[in-house]
Amino acid sequence: MKRFYSLMFVSLLLLAAGCSGLSNETGNESTPADNDSQQESPEKHEQEGESNEAGEKGKKKQNESKGSNNKKDDNDNKEKDTADKPASGKGDEVVTVDEPHALTVVVNKSRKLPEDFEPNDLVVPDVPFPFDEFHEKKQMRLEAAEALEELFKGAKQDGVELVAASGYRSYERQKLIYEDNVKKNGEEHANQFSAKPGTSEHQTGLAMDVTSAAAAFKLDQDFIETKEGQWLADHGHEYGFIIRYPEGKSDITGYAYEPWHLRYVGKEPAAEIHQQEETLEEFFGLYP
């Protein structure tokens, strides 16, 4: 009996030991599962990293696409702007006239005379000047000078006393006048009232500035308010002269109104220009 109880006691001990080992195995099995669960975190971060990288690539691609579109738009706008702009330099081109000796030669800011041009038939017309000494500005070409003498005679018969102020100017003198005007009044003002050398009608020998004692021998726009200025506007064409820079035509002639500036073109052209109220540029279709 005693042996029986001893065997029972040993069996119970062995049974207890076996249960304890099973419990420890079960506890150890939970750790790898937890570790696997924890190991998901780096994989998740890696996937998120790929997702972020893909997102960054996507954003970069979108930005590149936007940048590309913006560049395309900029290029399109530049092409449009370029298409809208006139060809550069075309409006500023100055040509040298082919026939500077022609009585109807058109000289302006875009049509200049040869630098060495000088008429070979310059004379001093027999008309009053406000100074007695000889000066090159007293001169005109022969045909224009004779026509001016007739005009002065006609004015005198109508009780109008005119005075000649300034005719021919050489290239060198015009250069001095223009530069002095710029110095005193600025380039913008000078370009309205004074020609750059080579582009002055006075160099043709076909122009004469006319004034009067009533205008205090000045050359200004108030001259038209005098009877002398009005007579010139009404009768100048009868002698082959036009008011070269009429009022309201500065966008065509390039110069402000000058009621004192006579230009000889011949009786027939002068009559047509006066009747049609045109400028010399309009008469010949030479628009700026």
Which element (helix H / strand E) includes 210?
strand 207-211
Residue found under tokens 């710029």? 182
User: Whats the size of the chain, residue-wise?
Assistant: 288
The Cα 244–Cα 254 span in angstroms is 11
pLDDT in tens, 38-66: 333 333 333 333 333 333 334 333 444 44
In the predicted model, is pLDDT for residue 191 greater than 90? no
Q: Which residues contact 243 (CB under 8 A, 6 or more apart)?
A: 232, 233, 236, 258, 259, 261, 262, 263
Q: State residue 17's pLDDT score.
A: 44
Q: Is the pLDDT reported for residue 74 higher than 80?
A: no
CB atoms under 10 Å from CB of 127, counted, come to 21
* Positive or negative torsion for Cα 65, 67, 71, 74: positive
16, two tokens: 């207890």
* pLDDT tens figures, 113-161: 998 899 999 999 999 999 999 999 999 999 999 999 999 999 999 999 9
Q: What is the DSSP letter of 159?
A: T
| 3-state SS track over 35-66 | HHHHHHHHHHHHHHHHHHHHHHHHHHHHHHHH
Residues involved in catalysis = 258
3-state SS class at 264:
strand
Element (H, E) at 93: none
| In contact, 162 and 129? CB cutoff 8 Å | no
Q: Over 90: is that where the pLDDT of 26 sits? A: no
Rounded mean pLDDT of 5-27? 44
Spatial separation of the C-alpha atoms in residues 135 and 264, rounded to whole Å: 20
